[in-house]
Structure formats: C-alpha cells, structure tokens
Amino acid sequence: MDFRDHHVIVTGGTGALGHAVVGALVEAGAVCHVPYVVAAEAERFALRGHARVKLVSMANLADEADVARLYDGVGALWASIHLVGGFAMAQVAQTTKADLMKQVEMNLVTSFLCSRAAVNTMGNRGGRIVNVAARPALEPRSGAGMVAYTASKAAVAAFTIALADEVAKLGILVNAVAPSIMDTAANRAAMPNADYAAWPKVEEVAASILFLASPQNAVTRGAIVPVYGRS
C-alpha cells in the first residue's frame, strides 16, 4: 500500500493500536498527524521524533472547536483514522447517566466530530475515514456487563454505515473495524489467565485499518470489519 505524500490524522495514535497504525503508515510513506491530550503519552511515544510524525496537543477530541483546529491545520487530508475511545465494565444497575454519557462522548462523539471535520476538509477531493467499533457492537449479547460501552460502540457502527452512504458521492469511503480483545500489555495484565495466542495482535488489526484507509481500497465502504483473530 502506497501512502506517499498522503496526510493522515490518527486519533488515539499514541496508544498500543495507534503505535502500530502510525508505524505502518509512516513505513508506507504517509505523513501522520497525531493529536494527544495526555502529555505523558506523547513523551512515551516511540515515533515522536520521526520526520513524518506530527504530534498535536489538544484539550478534548469531543470538543467541536478543538477538533476544528486540528483539521484546519492539516491541509490536503487523505485519511482520518479514529482510534481514540474508552471502555467501562459495569452492570447496568451500577451505571449512572454520567457513566453512559462518558462512553457516548468518548466513543461516538469523538468519531462523529472527527468524521464531520474530515468530510469538510476532504470536500469533493475524496479520501478515507476509518472508525473503530467493537465485537459487542456486532454481537450485542456478548456485551452483557458492559452495556454502556456496547451501546456506544453499536452507535459508532450505525453511524459509520449511514455516513458511508451519505458521502460516497464525494469519493469518501467510510468503514470501521470491530476488534475483539486485542493482545496488548494492558489487556494481558487485566486478564492474566486468558489465552493470549487467540487474541488478534495490534499489528494485524493495524493491517486491516491500513487497507481500508489506503488508495488501494477503491470500492469498500459501509463495512464493519470483524478483526477477531482466533478468539
């Protein structure tokens, strides 16, 4: 896949999956714009010194004005990849309205605002948008015990499909991936007795994201791609 001279925004780019995505993008020639909120994450980011990685300090990716400033500073945007989000495990009886709205804001609102800004920036030049849903978005019964998270990710999936039809005429192809539990250090620490070998690796999920965001993806839109590995 060839991303030479293509500008790509990657939200959540300083995380585990983000590092794999940004690393693969710069290897393919892309210029990556990586917003961050937590300074410590940016300082730990191994690719911070790369010539084609531009870290951008932000206050809140769920804030319209902050998101607009991010996209205004990019110029000729080719792809917008939205990895930022949040997870909460809680029974519905212990989930408050504030808990629910936090999940909606972290998962749906950030994807919505960044997608909207990307569409406005790309205009009729075309481009690619990739969101991140989750396995419970496709299999809601598996979301028992994390209903707020499941509902917010299901909303991301529905938003992705609707937006894909809306902007196809502009040459903008919109898709999402739906990962199961990924093999990260944090997930291993949280589930020490799990079968890590069955989990998809972040590099494998990144490869699926890269194809959907690439110029080589000429026809796929409105897809919510399961990336489950063997789990």
Q: Does some domain include residue 98?
A: yes
Q: Are 70 and 58 in contact (CB under 8 A)?
A: yes
Q: Does some domain include residue 46?
A: yes
How far apart, in whole angstroms, are the C-alpha atoms of residue 32 and residue 83? 14
Residue recorded with tokens 């870290």: 55
* DSSP secondary structure letters along 131-175: EE--HHHH-GGGGTTBHHHHHHHHHHHHHHHHHHHHHGGGTEEEE
SS3 (DSSP) at 43 = helix
Would you write out the chain's pLDDT as a tens digit for each of its 231 residues?
899 999 999 999 999 999 999 999 999 999 999 999 999 999 999 999 999 999 999 999 999 999 999 999 998 999 999 999 999 999 999 999 999 999 999 999 999 999 999 999 999 999 999 999 999 999 999 999 999 999 999 999 999 999 999 999 999 999 999 999 999 999 999 999 999 999 999 999 999 999 999 999 999 999 999 999 998
Instruction: Please choose, from the candidates 190, 89, 202, the residue with its C-alpha nearest in 3D space to the C-alpha of residue 149.
Output: 89
Q: Does some domain include residue 91?
A: yes
Neighbouring C-beta atoms of residue 47, cutoff 10 Å: 18
Q: What is the b/e burial string over 72-110, where b = at least 16 CB atoms within 10 angstroms of the residue's CB?
A: eebeebbbbbbbbbeeeebeeeebeeeebebbbbbbbbb
Q: Does some domain include residue 164?
A: yes
For the chain, the domain total comes to 1
Residue 170 sits in a domain of what CATH number?
3.40.50.720
How far apart, in whole angstroms, are the C-alpha atoms of residue 102 and residue 52? 33
Please tell me the predicted confidence (pLDDT) of residue 75: 82
Half-sphere exposure of 18 (CA within 13 A, CB side): 28
How far apart, in whole angstroms, are the C-alpha atoms of residue 163 and residue 177? 15
Torsion of CA 51, 52, 53, 58, to 10 degrees: 110
pTM, full prediction: 0.96
Please tell me the predicted confidence (pLDDT) of residue 213: 98
Q: Does some domain include residue 174?
A: yes
Single-letter amino acid, residue 99: D
Residue 143: φ, ψ to 5°: -95, 10
Q: What range defines the domain where residue 13 resides?
A: 7-227
